[in-house]
A = this chain, B = another copy of it.
């Protein structure tokens, strides 16, 4: 059994990023499609709006007829009638006249502006206009929202509530999306017990199962927990065999290079391949990545904080690729550090931080705690990355915070 040397974070990301994935697709109803990832471009088959509409309640006019109109010097226009919402605009607007429109009503021919009701006074069968409009004011023209034949949403995009708005505007009631990946999750370690059990001396409850599974579920994956394996080659290989049908395999615990490390050995025994064992990051160094039965497999550190940071930085990007996502914008902010952050050269370090917004901007306070301290994550709103070529940050330095979501 040969251990691979710890590699740089960037190299590990490149290896993970080039792991080939081929997610399957399915059609999903618009009511169920929120958060799913498009497997094809969405091209508009019609103009939205399909007709020019009024954006306000008011009077359809010719803009030039309102020129110079003021509260003290109103323009008088003949009221020709009304176009109701949902009604075709049969009328033609003539010079010196106006037509009443509700918000959303169709713009009649000849009209190039709508005066809001509050800048008008009704005088029998005429209307006083007390404010001029410019050409196009308060009109949403045909195709101004979505142009026919334009690509409105691209393949690889995760659908937001707003995107559902665009789909429904176009009458699209179902979308081609990628299937949710199925991920097998295994805990390992003689000391790990079920959460419902009372730990005997030396034992510890299975925390990582819940933090990993819920992070992955938040991202849209389906997680199957396959159990707790003992530090025993046969037990680990048996548990791994139960994961054969899944799209990805995660093992938490047992990834450090101690004498009892069976994870890399078990992967190799089952015909798999180790791509790397160890990343020069803190926390999270003893991370394993490989391939088993053509599927990606991670061995994750047992310490809860190390485990979660590796999930966030290395596992979730691959999960998102398995989900078909191509454009991910990680939410972040910029702020000023309230204290020094020491770090070692040659290690990429992830420091949990709290952000506070004040008049003067955002202040960032590091939360220093050992990598086993799960409660430190609950207190953090995000993390700062100290690059491997930097020996930390100083108080007053600007830094980027990546939000946990």
Contacts and interface: CB of A to CB of B under 8 A. Distances in A.
A66 interface: no
Nearest to A201: B88
B374 A166 contact: yes
Contacts of A308: 161-162, 165
A164 B214 contact: yes
Interface string A160-197: 11111111111111000000000000000111000111
A173 B86 CA distance: 54
Total copies of this chain within the assembly: 2
A11 to B, nearest CB: 20
Nearest to A58: B258
Given A202-B86, A329-B381, A171 B191 contact: no
A108 B348 CA distance: 32
Contacts of A56: 256
Given A49-B204, A103-B258, A30 B195 contact: yes
B117 A258 contact: yes
Task: Give the interface SS of chain A, mostly helix, strand, loop or mixed.
Answer: loop
A89 B374 contact: no
A373 B190 contact: no
B55 A303 contact: yes
A387 interface: no
A190 B84 contact: yes
B102 A404 contact: no
A245 interface: no
A220 B361 CA distance: 31
Contact of A189 (B85, B145, B161): B85
Most chain B beta carbons < 10 A, residue from A85, A145, A332, A404: A85
A339 interface: no
Given A50-B204, A57-B259, A145-B372, 15 more contacts: A51-B201, A51-B202, A55-B372, A57-B257, A86-B189, A102-B256, A105-B191, A144-B372, A160-B404, A161-B308, A168-B209, A169-B207, A170-B205, A173-B196, A334-B335
Interface of A: 30-31, 34, 48-51, 53, 55-57, 84-89, 102-106, 117, 140, 144-146, 152-153, 160-173, 189-191, 195-212, 214-215, 217-218, 231, 256-260, 302-304, 308, 329, 331-335, 357, 361-362, 370-375, 377-378, 380-381, 398, 400, 403-405
